[in-house]
Structure 1
Amino acid sequence: MVWMLKSNLILSQDVLGYKLKLLLREVIVNGEKERVSLLFMKALVSRGSVDAVSQQMASHPQYLESFLRTQHYILHMDGPLPLPYRHYIAIMVCNLASYAKNTFLRVGGDPLWLQGLEAAPPRLRLLDHINKVLAHQPWLAACSHIQTLLKAGEQCWSLAELVQAVVILAHCHSLCSFVFGCDTDSDLAHLAKSPNGTPPTFCPLDAANGNANVPQSLKAPSEHITRRRVNDSDFTVLKGRKPSDLEDEEEMLCFADPSHFITDPDFCHQEFARRDEDHLQVLRVQDYSWEVHGFSLINRLYSDIGHLLDDRFRSVTSLPSLHSSDLKRAIWNYIHYVLGIRYDDYDYGEVNQLLERDLKLYIKAVACFPDVTKTPVCPLSWTLLKASERIHVNLLIMEARLQAELLYALRAITRYMIA
């Protein structure tokens, strides 16, 4: 009888514990839903709609909140750059984003600037080179690029203005990677891509997997680059206008034509691994890191942004996930490796152990080729993952790319300051 009473007591405790766990889980889930609802309500109030990016990130409310806070700060809060400049810089990166154009006009931007870079102020045109370098080959960012911008006579930038511009560029470049990776057709994209401006067939660190033939360059001829066709949604910047003749229609096309924002279509991603590492000076984290060098410099030149960015980096790596900490670190370090950043205390053999080849190809495609129009190949292993887990991988890719780009830009600024 005593044994039965003890057994029933233990059983009742187990049942109670299980119910408490269910209740706690429900509270957490409801809390997360309330946080997402609040974030969406704020977006509806400020913009009148919830963008697709926020909807994708909604499965990770903690990260979404950090992301939106940073984005709002760099585009709308106090800073050295006027609001039209900030949103035009975003357009230089994602020149078909109708929301960016709408916001640019709403904050007082000159509609003529939307005709292309040639119509923009000379100071903004000066950003074109550093924009494409950071977007495609960030390891090339040099002290000379910084000097050109800061010593341009009447059109010169201040150091604080340049830092904010660099943050906006890096934010938008990495966001393009996330949007590319989260394309709604990704789950159906199991077929191999053609080599015309599409993701690579070579993975650095992949020799152990039988792919030691590294191509000299993955650059595609400009005549083979395919771009998304302009559609009606791209013309929302002209809301309220009523084109009545052919001239107005031609002006609309001028506003939406992405080629007007691209000065060198042949400048694209190239393989860092094939280059002379001494010449390009591999960025070794032990010599220049975000925690020790980047954070303090950027926070000093652009108040509070260092804390906001650091919160994003910490948030994405600490999200609850089925992915192990080793796997997340392998993804992060692999992206940095592709972009020429090395960790002396990391065993890169883990990359081949933890990342299957199709996953490495996907990661590299999303990190380095977000400007192509075709959907990246979805790893076959992802068929077993929830959408939130796939989104988490894309968030890791975005943040690793963001930090890499900032490290190269900030290292160049540091070298200019101490030269």
Structure 2
Amino acid sequence: MYDLSGYYDNCSCNLNFDLINGNTEPVTVILPFCGMCNRNKYLQDSRKKSRLSKNDSMIFKEIIPVNTTEDQTQMVFIDAFLQNNRLDHLTQLMGYHPTYLENFLRTQQYLLRGDGPLPFHYRHYIAIMAASRHQCTYLIHLHEEEFILQNGDPDWLKGPTHIPKKIRNLFELNKLMAHRPWLINKSHIDKLTRGKDNWSLSELMQAICLIAHFHAMCSFVYGCGVRNELDHNGESLHRRLSMSDDSDSDTQGNEPEVKIEVLMERMKKLNEDDSDDPTEEERLKRFESIENQSVELISSSIPSPRVEVLKYCEDPEFCYQDFAKRDNLDSIPTFRAQDYNWEEHGFSLANRLLSDIGSNLEDRFNIAINLTYYTMGKVKNVDTSAFRCAIWNYIHCLYGIMHDDFNYSQVNQLLDRNLKSYIKTVTCYPERLTKKDYDSCMQEFRHSEKVHVNLMLLEARLQGELLYSLRAVMQHMT
């Protein structure tokens, strides 16, 4: 027990602190109930960490404040703090969309702290492993702390030689899911579920969901430029992005951004014109055209991973390869959603192996893609469904997933080159994102709309990884 005397005696926020599940332990990241006491100082001293300066802001300079007057958002923030003993910047950014945030928190709480076959410290170590694939120190540090709080062995944090072989066996699956999920097949599941240190299918289902969840979270963290809650290494994520402002990340040159007025006109025409009904062969050609065009979108150079990341990451040089340039074209065909999709296959398999996870994920996917306030920038009463659908399906295209009911010609009509480049970088190798990449697109969008785009990137990527992984699990079971 920590001695809190002298830090917040006679402070009105004392009651709030004590009521959080009877907790008098220092929280991992601070929710500033009150500026009258020195609790922040105590919490910093107790962990010997320093907070970032006020100038170390994130790309999104506007986050929903803790004392928001929006009732729904405030209630979700309270739930988030009760669950996590913190209200972090990610939660405050997602607070622009409280309906989504509520479901996101429910799913994450279930994966990390709910009923399930995996021990709690295993879950946080898997989160660390997943975040390491994209060098996301923000998530790595948060879950290193949570791992210790769940009585995890500190030696595990020294490197792979200190962890059980059962956990090490996940490294290959983690690597493939993060960068080239189309390489996952039945043999990977066979290997994990057999032998001395085998995984049960329910354990593996939970591990797969955790891995995919935190890979996708890396995309959101980088896409929003979220800073560290506590600065462990003297360098914030925003600073890393800012240092790349003058990089050669955009070697093909920026193109003028499509203005909102033009984009609205294109969406209106698409909604009104139902004459374009391509054949199945033509749809495939359009899909492959978009797929091949994505190869031309070049990102910045790969940042050198730090030692603190390398110890959790096997084969760090392994990274995303364009699906159109994959090896063995014949043996790895396009993933046809009509043959295996979330609604008809993934949902039921996920629920079967890990109760309720499929339902929670289903809600998240639906909210992310259907969420709308009928605005675009300063314009109101806008039907953005075509734009949202183009983003979602373009992300899946980057992973070789084709939806037969989507007209892929809409991608080039609604997503300009700069936005497609941003989407590809954030989805496939978010650690390479520069502030220049971010500044080149969505310039007329509101902050909340930019957050929504990043939420769609998160969820579409998550679903893509799950589709490949669950298809392999199904093949193993049949």
Please report the TM-score for the alignment, with normalisation by the length of structure 2.
Answer: 0.68
Alpha-carbon distance in 2 for matches of 1:270, 1:219? 14
53 and 417 in structure 1: CA distance in 2 versus 1, 3 angstrom threshold: same
What's the offset of the Cα at 1:278? 2.9
Alpha-carbon distance in 2 for matches of 1:279, 1:207? 17
Alpha-carbon distance in 2 for matches of 1:416, 1:32? 51
Counterpart in the other structure of 2:416: 356
Q: Is the 8 A contact 2:244 2:435 kept in 1?
A: no
1:282 correspondence with 2:324: no
158 and 200 in structure 1: CA distance in 2 versus 1, 3 angstrom threshold: farther
1:92 corresponds, among 129, 142, 146, to 129
1:149 corresponds, among 192, 196, 206, to 192
1:312 correspondence with 2:364: yes
274 and 217 in structure 1: CA distance in 2 versus 1, 3 angstrom threshold: farther
What amino acid is aligned across from residue 298 of structure 1 in structure 2?
A: A
Cα deviation digits, residues 112-143 of structure 1 (max 9, x gap): 10111221111000000000100000111111
Q: Is the 8 A contact 2:103 2:363 kept in 1?
A: yes
What's the offset of the Cα at 1:399? 0.3
What's the offset of the Cα at 1:85? 0.7
Query: Equivalent residue of 2:167, what SS?
Result: helix
What amino acid is aligned across from residue 400 of structure 2 in structure 1?
A: G
133 and 208 in structure 1: CA distance in 2 versus 1, 3 angstrom threshold: closer
41 and 280 in structure 1: CA distance in 2 versus 1, 3 angstrom threshold: same
Q: Is the 8 A contact 1:190 1:378 kept in 2?
A: no
1:45 corresponds, among 62, 74, 82, to 82
What amino acid is aligned across from residue 194 of structure 1 in structure 2?
A: D
Alpha-carbon distance in 2 for matches of 1:330, 1:126? 37
Alpha-carbon distance in 1 for matches of 2:70, 2:458? 24
Query: Equivalent residue of 2:437, what SS?
Result: coil
Residues 98-247 of structure 1 correspond to what in structure 2 (within 5 A)?
Answer: 98-151=141-194, 153-183=195-225, 185=238, 193-194=247-248, 214=295, 225-227=303-305
201 and 341 in structure 1: CA distance in 2 versus 1, 3 angstrom threshold: farther
Greater per-residue helix proportion? 1
Q: Is the 8 A contact 1:205 1:352 kept in 2?
A: no
Cα deviation digits, residues 6-39 of structure 1 (max 9, x gap): xxxxxxxxxxxxxxxxxxxxxxxx9982222122
Query: Equivalent residue of 1:384, what SS?
Result: coil
Alpha-carbon distance in 2 for matches of 1:207, 1:379? 29
Radius of gyration: which is bigger?
1
Moved more, 372-381 or 34-43: 372-381
Counterpart in the other structure of 1:383: 443
**Percent of residue pairs bearing the same amino acid type:** 42
191 and 103 in structure 1: CA distance in 2 versus 1, 3 angstrom threshold: closer
What's the offset of the Cα at 1:376? 6.3
Query: Equivalent residue of 1:53, what SS?
Result: helix
Greater relative contact order (Cα < 8 A, sep 6+): 1
286 and 327 in structure 1: CA distance in 2 versus 1, 3 angstrom threshold: same
Query: Equivalent residue of 2:151, what SS?
Result: coil
What's the offset of the Cα at 1:40? 1.8
What amino acid is aligned across from residue 52 of structure 1 in structure 2?
A: H
What's the offset of the Cα at 1:212? 5.7
294 and 348 in structure 1: CA distance in 2 versus 1, 3 angstrom threshold: same
Alpha-carbon distance in 1 for matches of 2:253, 2:429? 12
Counterpart in the other structure of 1:16: none
Counterpart in the other structure of 1:303: 355
Alpha-carbon distance in 2 for matches of 1:214, 1:392? 25
1:61 corresponds, among 98, 102, 126, to 98
What's the offset of the Cα at 1:343? 1.1
Alpha-carbon distance in 2 for matches of 1:124, 1:281? 31
Counterpart in the other structure of 1:14: none
What amino acid is aligned across from residue 174 of structure 1 in structure 2?
A: A
Q: Is the 8 A contact 1:358 1:380 kept in 2?
A: yes
Alpha-carbon distance in 2 for matches of 1:163, 1:266? 27
Counterpart in the other structure of 1:267: 318
1:333 corresponds, among 388, 393, 409, to 393
Alpha-carbon distance in 2 for matches of 1:295, 1:51? 30
What amino acid is aligned across from residue 303 of structure 2 in structure 1?
A: I
Q: Is the 8 A contact 1:182 1:394 kept in 2?
A: yes
What's the offset of the Cα at 1:188? 7.5
213 and 331 in structure 1: CA distance in 2 versus 1, 3 angstrom threshold: closer
Q: Is the 8 A contact 2:299 2:432 kept in 1?
A: no
What amino acid is aligned across from residue 284 of structure 1 in structure 2?
A: R
Q: Is the 8 A contact 1:35 1:61 kept in 2?
A: yes
What's the offset of the Cα at 1:215? 6.2
Alpha-carbon distance in 2 for matches of 1:57, 1:111? 32
Alpha-carbon distance in 2 for matches of 1:378, 1:57? 18
Q: Is the 8 A contact 1:226 1:373 kept in 2?
A: no
Please report the TM-score for the alignment, with normalisation by the length of structure 1.
Answer: 0.77
Q: Unaligned regions of 5+ residues in structure 1, if any?
A: 1-29, 230-255
Q: Is the 8 A contact 2:209 2:466 kept in 1?
A: yes
